[in-house]
């Protein structure tokens, strides 16, 4: 079955860290760039980051640059998002998404992981 | 705050057609043919319905179509159905090597 499964969300305090995972199955994970997209409660979608198929290129939104780190392990078909120095405004559902064509067309999405940053 | 603009809401009766606009600049929509559109039901992950301005993924109804003129992209839904009621987001690649989403448009079927 072609799918992405998010895990690793939770409730954390400001300034702390959290790592999200995204396990891929049913397709050639190492052929696709992968993205993270987040959605704050009741708000719209916000693009967070993208990693190339081989992990050599990583790009981030200004809002997370320097705090979030994207990585992937193609041997484990898994994508990771390391989030440091978390802020209340990082509270959101985080989705991993596959890039169909290399132009940001997210054709396969995980179910999302809720991250709540609160004191 | 999004660099792309969309109408907050659009409504129409079943069977009618609607068009949702997504306006950017020459640094995003106007400069690249990497515009995508997503449909999102409440509590669900978004679904890709248009990519590369006007391509439809396999399995998406041909009632959905996309186009672009200058820095404005458009999503047209023809033969509106009750199941089309959802939030719709546009997205574009940008000259800053990042991607942006529009603020979303809520479509209501009257």
Predicted confidence (pLDDT) per residue in A36-69, tens digit: 999 999 999 999 999 999 999 999 999 999 999 9
Question: Which residues in chain A are closer than 8 Å to B97, comparing Cβ atoms?
Answer: 59
Confidence at residue B34, expressed as pLDDT on a 0 to 100 scale: 96
Consecutive sets of 10 residues in chain B, 110 residues long: mean pLDDT of each?
A: 88 97 96 97 96 96 97 98 97 91 97
Chain A residue with minimal CA distance to B55? A105
Beta-bridged to residue A59, according to DSSP, are: A50
Q: B71-103 b/e with 16+ CB inside 10 Å = b?
A: bbbbbebeebeeebebbbbbbbbbeeebbbbbb
Question: Could you tell me if A45 lies within 8 Å of chain B, comparing CB atoms?
Answer: yes
Q: What pLDDT, on the 0 to 100 scale, is given for residue B19?
A: 98
pLDDT of B96: 85
- The percent of residues in chain A predicted with pLDDT above 90, rounded, is 97
Q: How far apart are CA A26 and CA B15, in angstroms?
A: 37
The span from the CA of B24 to the CA of B4, in Å, is 5
Q: What is the dihedral of CA B44, A104, A92, B105, to 10 degrees?
A: -60
In this prediction, residue B1 carries a pLDDT of: 52
Q: Does B52 contact A107 at a Cβ distance shorter than 8 Å? A: no
């Amino acid at each position: 079955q072609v799918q992405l499964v998010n895990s690793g969300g939770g409730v954390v305090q400001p300034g702390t860290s959290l790592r999200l995972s995204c396990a891929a199955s049913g397709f050639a994970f190492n052929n696709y760039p992968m993205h993270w997209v987040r959605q704050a409660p009741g708000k719209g979608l916000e693009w967070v980051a993208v990693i190339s198929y081989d992990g050599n290129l990583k790009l981030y939104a200004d809002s997370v640059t320097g705090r979030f780190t994207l990585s992937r392990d193609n041997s484990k078909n898994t994508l990771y998002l390391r989030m440091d120095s978390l802020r209340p405004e990082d509270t959101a559902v985080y989705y991993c998404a596959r890039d169909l064509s290399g132009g940001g067309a997210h054709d396969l999405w995980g179910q999302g992981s809720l991250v709540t940053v609160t004191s | 705050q999004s660099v792309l603009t969309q109408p907050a809401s659009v409504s129409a009766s079943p069977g009618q057609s609607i068009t949702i606009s997504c306006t950017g600049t020459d640094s995003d929509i106007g400069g690249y043919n990497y515009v995508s559109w997503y449909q999102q039901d409440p509590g669900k992950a978004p679904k890709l319905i248009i990519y590369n301005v006007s391509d439809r993924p396999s399995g998406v109804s041909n009632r959905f179509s996309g186009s672009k003129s200058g820095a404005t992209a458009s999503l047209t839904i023809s033969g509106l159905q009750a199941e089309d009621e959802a939030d719709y987001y546009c997205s574009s690649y940008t000259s800053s090597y990042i991607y942006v989403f529009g603020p979303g448009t809520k479509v209501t079927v009257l």
